[in-house]
Structure 1
Amino acid sequence: MTLIVVTGAGGFIGSHLVRRLVREGHRVRGADLAHPRHEPTAAQEFVTVDLRDPVQARCAVAGADTVYALAANMGGIGWTHQAPAEILHDNLLISTHTIEACRAAGVRTTLYTSSACVYPGYLQREPDAPPLAEHRVFPAEPDMEYGWEKLTTELLCKAYRKSHGMDIKIARLHAIYGPVGEFDGPRAKSLAMLCTKVARLDGDEGEIEVWGDGTQTRSYCYIDDCVEGLIRLARSEVTEPLNIGSEERIDIASLVDRIAHVAGKKVRCAFAPDRPVGPRGRSSDNTRCRQLLGWEPGTTLQAGLERTYPWIAQQVAAGEESADG
């Protein structure tokens, strides 16, 4: 049986991907700095490694037929503003050592997870900005240091494909969300953090702080769709970067209303326009995904929230009970 390695298997997307691959009957090795926080890993083998070290990167991918390279120092907008040097430093090392290790090990297929953060800021300055198509990445103006590293590694992947004949796929992920992910602190993404704030309200109504003025827009992609897209891309003949995201766009104020409805609460927004908000408008253009994979993410935001909010609310309640106890 061939071996599939998932780096970043201790993280949100990685843990879901491992579970799906194991369910399909594959032999999977997870690799990360730590095991998943919220539930045990499904991987038959899990190695604790620091991919900033080239020796450990080689150990992580040894014997692999396919490597899903998800590992990264990442988080929500709070984290990207808090630790830009750490993010750039760590991710350059992780990505470079992982790709070189895959080359040296003769890995058949490597899939690198990039990000919508590679897209230029000048395309995202209005809430109704057009969806982001893959060819619009240049002239470059990525989103902060995290985006610059992702774009740099995309170029590295392209160079390795050209120089070494490697089969490297690139997935540009757009705002992935779902249960069993970070929901609190600077590493939590916007949707999860808003769910947490709503869950922490005392009673069935109240006010939460919302960064920005509420008009900024995003398209959120549910975790199951993300995993499906990654697997389809890895098994395809596609050689160019490909968006994996939803085309269903929503503004943040409306997102709060949606979360409140799922929670059965009345929520008022206390907007904080002085806090970081990132691009004013970001959504995925799935034209190429439909053309090249014959597929696109199909989970509606409503359906995804109905699966995500209850899990986050349960974690919040458990944490409060633990603190009270």
Structure 2
Amino acid sequence: MTLVVVTGAGGFVGGHLVRAVRAQYPHAQVRGTDIHHPEYGRSEADQFLVADLRERDRCAEAVAGADVVFALAANMGGIGWTHAAPAEILHDNLLISVNTMDACREEGVRTVVYTSSACVYPGSLQREPDSAPLRETPVLPAEPDMQYGWEKLTTEILCETYRETYDMDIKVARLHAIYGPQGSYSGLRAKSLSMLCGKVAAVPGDRGEIEVWGDGTQTRSYCYVDDCVTGLLRLAESPVDQPVNIGSEERVSISELVARIAHIAGKEITTRYLPDKPVGPLGRVSDNALCRRLLGWQPDTSLDDGLRRTYRWIEEQVAAHRSGEVVTR
């Protein structure tokens, strides 16, 4: 029987991926592993191994017997976290990535899918809100986004080297701003879209003010989590041997994003911009030409559709927190 391992299965994307693997491969065994259990609900993996993948022996245990490994485990968060803990992020993620690739090599894993990030792209390509969409090729000369981006780019090089040296089937997915239900929406680890949803949901009544980092002109493209996991599964089954973007091509400014969230919430929201806070690249949008060509597919959930589903879930969480209830779905 095929054994599929998802590292980082206690996290946001990992949890959704476990469910997608179970649905697409009903006869496979799914092992999830993470340093903690999922924050929201229980994992649907057949086995769940709580393990610190910074430890080489635990990493070997996690992938033992695996046919396919989706390598999602990472110390990560939103821009607040990347600025608060750069050394911890670089240290932990280098250990996790090297241990995972070595363990997969020694175990003879058939296929490995590594989740990289749009943070590998040079800052020089993202300095204006209307910067051109990011194609997969221009990553050198290197100028990635902070220590998180440096680690992702380093591991991409590791994957390429192991693929060529050890004849490993390693795929690399460059994820662009994944969002959806069951992701962090408060604190330093929350990503921008979910954080803004949480702030709007926390506004009592039908009007109020929220703080927004930056001046609101920075742009992003956000990819709904269901599209992300579909892309990862398609990549795993493909013969592709080069990094591929998995992201949306729908550009939105942060100020427009707040307006869309407010509309869905039915609230009148004013924004207090904090231009002294970090905002990352001023313009980051995925170019999906290679994804369409190599996978015959691209993410197709519109921002408004994904935003409605995400906001409603976060709204439930915020309301439950106020009342002292626990919502796990």
Q: Could you tell me which amino acid in structure 2 is paired with residue 212 of structure 1?
A: G
Q: What CA distance in whole angstroms lies between the structure 2 residues aligned with 1:269 and 1:175?
A: 22
Q: What CA distance in whole angstroms lies between the structure 1 residues aligned with 2:97 and 2:280?
A: 24
Aligned to 2:235: 233
Q: Report the CA distance between 1:117 and its aligned residue.
A: 0.1
Q: What SS does structure 2 have at the residue aligned with 1:122?
A: helix
Q: Report the CA distance between 1:121 and its aligned residue.
A: 0.3
Q: Map 1:106-117 to 2 at 5 A.
A: 106-117=108-119
Q: Which runs of 5+ in 1 are unaligned?
A: none
Q: Report the CA distance between 1:175 and its aligned residue.
A: 0.1
Aligned to 2:303: 301
Aligned to 1:262: 264
Aligned to 1:16: 16
Q: Report the CA distance between 1:258 and its aligned residue.
A: 0.3
Structure 1 counterpart of 2:156, from 149, 154, 157? 154
Q: What CA distance in whole angstroms lies between the structure 2 residues aligned with 1:23 and 1:129?
A: 38
Q: What SS does structure 2 have at the residue aligned with 1:14?
A: helix
Q: Report the CA distance between 1:233 and its aligned residue.
A: 0.4
Q: Could you tell me which amino acid in structure 1 is paired with residue 149 of structure 2?
A: G
Q: Map 1:75-94 to 2 at 5 A.
A: 75-94=77-96
Q: What CA distance in whole angstroms lies between the structure 2 residues aligned with 1:107 and 1:208?
A: 48
2:31 aligned with 1:7 = no
Aligned to 1:168: 170
CA displacement 1:116-146 (0-9 Å, x = unmatched): 0000000000000000000011111000000
Q: What CA distance in whole angstroms lies between the structure 2 residues aligned with 1:58 and 1:27?
A: 18
Structure 2 counterpart of 1:141, from 140, 143, 165? 143
Aligned to 2:41: 39
Q: What CA distance in whole angstroms lies between the structure 1 residues aligned with 2:32 and 2:199?
A: 32
CA displacement 1:138-189 (0-9 Å, x = unmatched): 1110000000000000000001001100000000000000001111100000
Q: What CA distance in whole angstroms lies between the structure 2 residues aligned with 1:148 and 1:319?
A: 37
Q: Which runs of 5+ in 2 are unaligned?
A: none
Q: What SS does structure 1 have at the residue aligned with 2:196?
A: helix
Q: Report the CA distance between 1:296 and its aligned residue.
A: 0.2
Q: Could you tell me which amino acid in structure 1 is paired with residue 81 of structure 2?
A: W
Q: Report the CA distance between 1:22 and its aligned residue.
A: 1.0
Q: Could you tell me which amino acid in structure 2 is paired with residue 274 of structure 1?
A: D
Q: TM-score scaled by structure 1? A: 0.99
Q: What SS does structure 2 have at the residue aligned with 1:39?
A: coil
Q: Could you tell me which amino acid in structure 1 is paired with residue 130 of structure 2?
A: D
Q: What CA distance in whole angstroms lies between the structure 1 residues aligned with 2:131 and 2:65?
A: 45
Q: Report the CA distance between 1:23 and its aligned residue.
A: 1.8
Q: Could you tell me which amino acid in structure 2 is paired with residue 210 of structure 1?
A: V
Q: Could you tell me which amino acid in structure 2 is paired with residue 316 of structure 1?
A: V
Of 76-85 and 21-30, deviating more is 21-30
Divergent runs of 4+, >3 A:
none
CA displacement 1:247-274 (0-9 Å, x = unmatched): 0000000000000011111111100000
Q: Report the CA distance between 1:192 and its aligned residue.
A: 0.2
Q: Report the CA distance between 1:43 and its aligned residue.
A: 0.2
Aligned to 1:72: 74
Q: What SS does structure 2 have at the residue aligned with 1:277?
A: coil
CA displacement 1:65-115 (0-9 Å, x = unmatched): 000000000000000000000000000000000000000000000000000
2:270 aligned with 1:249 = no
What is the count of residue pairs matched by the alignment? Answer: 323
Root-mean-square deviation (Å): 0.7
Structure 1 counterpart of 2:209, from 207, 216, 220? 207
Q: What CA distance in whole angstroms lies between the structure 2 residues aligned with 1:72 and 1:103?
A: 19
